[in-house]
């Protein structure tokens, strides 16, 4: 089931904004001295008149959706809280980011807005899909530069998602080699229409080399001009394959207990932090998901353990997928606040993602459930999403059939802006 575009609330305060207004205005106690003082025209005291003016201003201010309010994320002064979620678009031929990505990303750039790039492979063993970008060679770094520069020219803040697909890979390994994983169990043949080959379980002595690939990718991302990196620890890819107990069947120091299963993820974080500094590193996790048959028997414990463990590295942000996104593209409403323990445990900026629209994004910010909210499909189909949210304007529908096709324009840069232009 796909989320339908949010076309409700065409004018005035919406429910969330109204609740927020009531909470901060009427919810507080009015100091008794407000009611003392001279009575002026219309029978009001000076303080009562001041209070009325303040209330009027506040009502005006609170017509701005909370998603559109500024937020300071480390050294980055974000002008709003609507984040472009990382989205693989399969249009980087031969692993090289292409000039058409300049238009795609700049269409979605706002001054002070945060964008997270599509997943970029950290090495040639990391690739899982056709025409995805890399960030492991000099040529790839050079190809990213004009894209990053263009986003910066428009005032955007741009993070590169660095990724290893692990066992979610077919036909992309050098010389037909076997994909690597925490396990030698493959995904079920036929899953997502692919005849998955069984992966090869990484030997212990190989793991530092993979950690180093992430370290070099982080360095390369900074070299390409990105403001930082997001480590892809979600959605059933290599890092997730180590963390989740339905996949990781190791009995060494990288498997078994929660601490041991999370060790690889934390080593990757540590390496990236050593390389580029914690203030430029974020991580994405999906403890509740079982994409690509990567689920966990106790996602609450996994999520909370990671949120706490990450604090020791002082990273910039933790980006987590809602439990309602169990299968890619599905949304189940049920457990609205399951990320709250992670949000409370983690000391940095918290980004929530997965099935959000304007209303529940505003609610998440109003309730301090998240600092920022990442939007995937709505942003893909609405390059001017922040403006549309500000105006509460109608949204374009997304076309799922062109998500992963290779055309440099169709389904990529041809979604219209509000004024009809592309």
Ligand X SMILES: Cc1cc2nc3c(=O)[nH]c(=O)nc-3n(C[C@H](O)[C@H](O)[C@H](O)COP(=O)(O)O)c2cc1C
**What is the smallest separation between the CB atom of 288 and ligand X, expressed in angstroms?**
12
Residues 6+ apart with CB under 8 A from 203: none
Q: List the interface residues with ligand X, window 18-47 (CB under 6 A).
A: none
Name which position in 73, 87, 289, 372 contacts ligand X (CB under 6 A).
87
Query: Catalytic: 26?
Result: no
Residue 195 CB, nearest approach to ligand X (Å): 22
Instruction: Note whether 86 binds ligand X by CB under 6 A.
Output: yes
| Beta pairing class for 76-78 and 71-73 | antiparallel
**Shortest Å distance, C-beta 310 to ligand X:** 17
Q: How many residues bind ligand X (CB under 6 A)?
A: 23
Residue whose CB is less far from ligand X, 103 or 250? 103
Q: Name the residue nearer to ligand X (CB basis): 63 or 338.
A: 338
Residues 309-328 that bind ligand X (CB under 6 A): 321, 325
Single residue of 125, 127, 140, 161 touching ligand X by CB under 6 A:
161
Position 234 contacts ligand X (CB under 6 A): yes
Residues 124 and 136: beta-carbon distance below 8 Å: yes
Contact residue for ligand X among 141, 304, 353, 381 (CB under 6 A): 353
DSSP state of 252: S
Phi, psi of 419 (to 5 degrees): -85, 10
Residue nearest to ligand X (CB): 376
The Cα angle at residue 377 between residues 194 and 237, in degrees rounded to 5: 40
Please give the Cα distance from 346 to 325 (Å, whole number): 21
Stretch that binds ligand X, among 42-50, 185-193, 261-269, 374-382 (CB under 6 A): 374-382
Site string for ligand X, 284-313 (x = CB under 6 A): x-----------------------------
Q: In this chain, which of 65, 355, 386, 411 binds ligand X, going by CB under 6 A?
A: 355
Q: Does the CA dihedral 102-107-113-119 come out positive or negative?
A: negative
Closer by beta carbon to ligand X, 353 or else 372: 353
Is 16 one of the binding residues for ligand X (CB under 6 A)?
no
DSSP secondary structure letters along 258-320: HHHHTHHHHHHHHHHHHHH-GGGEEEEE-TT--GGG---S-HHHHHHHHHHHHGGGT-SEEEE
Task: Look up residue 148 and give its two tokens.
Answer: 């990053």
Place of tokens 């963390």: 243
Q: Does 88 bind ligand X (CB under 6 A)?
A: yes
Site for ligand X in 266-285 (CB under 6 A): 284
Nearer to ligand X, 13 or 96 (CB): 96
Q: Which is nearer to ligand X, 199 or 355 (CB)?
A: 355
Residue 372 makes contact with ligand X by CB under 6 A: no
Pick the catalytic residue: 170, 237, 305, 412?
A: 237
* Binding track over 104-143 against ligand X, x by CB under 6 A: --------------xx------------------------
Query: How far is residue 259's CA from residue 263's CA, in Å, rounded to a whole number?
Result: 6
C-beta pairs of 6-15 under 8 Å, 24+ apart in sequence: 6/357, 6/358, 6/359, 6/378, 6/395, 7/394, 7/395, 8/359, 9/358, 9/359, 9/392, 10/392, 11/392, 12/63, 13/62, 13/63, 14/65, 14/358, 14/359, 14/362, 14/392, 15/359
In whole angstroms, what is the distance from residue 155 CA to residue 78 CA? 10
Q: Which of 71, 129, 313, 403 binds ligand X (CB under 6 A)?
A: 403
Residue ranges of E strands in 304-365: 317-321, 349-353
Which residues bind to ligand X, rule: CB under 6 A? 3, 85-88, 118-119, 161, 232, 234-235, 284, 321, 325, 353-356, 375-378, 403
Residues recognised as catalytic: 237
């Amino acid at each position: 089931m796909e989320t339908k575009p949010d076309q409700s609330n065409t004018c005035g305060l919406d429910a969330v904004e109204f609740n927020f207004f009531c909470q901060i205005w009427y919810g507080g106690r009015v100091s008794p001295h407000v009611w003392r003082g001279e009575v002026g025209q219309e029978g009001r005291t000076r303080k009562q008149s001041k209070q009325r003016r303040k209330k009027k201003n506040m009502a005006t201010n609170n017509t701005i959706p909370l998603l559109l309010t500024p937020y300071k994320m480390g050294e980055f002064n974000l002008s709003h809280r609507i984040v472009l979620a990382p989205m693989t678009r399969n249009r980087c031929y031969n692993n090289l980011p292409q000039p058409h990505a300049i238009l795609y990303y700049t269409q979605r750039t706002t001054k002070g807005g945060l964008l997270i790039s599509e997943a970029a492979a950290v090495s040639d063993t990391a690739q899982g899909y056709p025409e995805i970008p890399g960030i492991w060679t000099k040529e790839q770094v050079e190809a990213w530069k004009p894209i990053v520069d263009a986003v910066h020219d428009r005032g955007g803040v741009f993070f590169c998602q660095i990724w290893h697909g692990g066992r979610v890979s077919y036909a992309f390994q050098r010389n037909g080699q076997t994909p690597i994983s925490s396990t030698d169990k493959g995904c079920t043949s036929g899953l997502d229409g692919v005849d998955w080959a069984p992966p090869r379980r990484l030997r212990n002595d190989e793991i530092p080399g993979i950690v180093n690939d992430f370290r070099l990718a982080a360095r390369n991302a900074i070299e390409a001009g990105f403001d930082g990196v997001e480590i892809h620890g979600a959605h059933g890819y290599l890092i997730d394959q180590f963390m989740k107990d339905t996949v990781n069947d190791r009995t060494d120091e990288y498997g078994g207990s929660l601490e041991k299963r999370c060790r690889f993820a934390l080593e990757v974080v540590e390496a990236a932090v050593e390389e580029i500094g914690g203030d430029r590193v974020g991580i994405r996790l999906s403890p509740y998901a079982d994409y690509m048959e990567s689920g966990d028997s106790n996602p609450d414990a996994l999520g909370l353990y990671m949120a706490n463990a990450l604090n020791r590295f002082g990273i910039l942000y933790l980006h987590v997928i809602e439990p309602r996104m169990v299968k890619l593209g599905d949304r189940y409403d049920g457990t609205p606040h399951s990320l709250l323990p992670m949000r409370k445990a983690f000391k940095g900026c918290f980004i929530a993602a997965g099935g959000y629209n304007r209303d529940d994004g505003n609610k998440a910010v109003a309730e301090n459930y998240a600092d920022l909210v990442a939007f995937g499909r709505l942003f893909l189909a609405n390059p001017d999403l922040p403006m549309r949210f500000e105006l509460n304007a109608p949204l374009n529908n997304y076309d799922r059939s062109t998500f992963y096709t290779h055309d440099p324009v169709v389904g990529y840069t041809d979604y219209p802006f509000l004024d009809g232009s592309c």
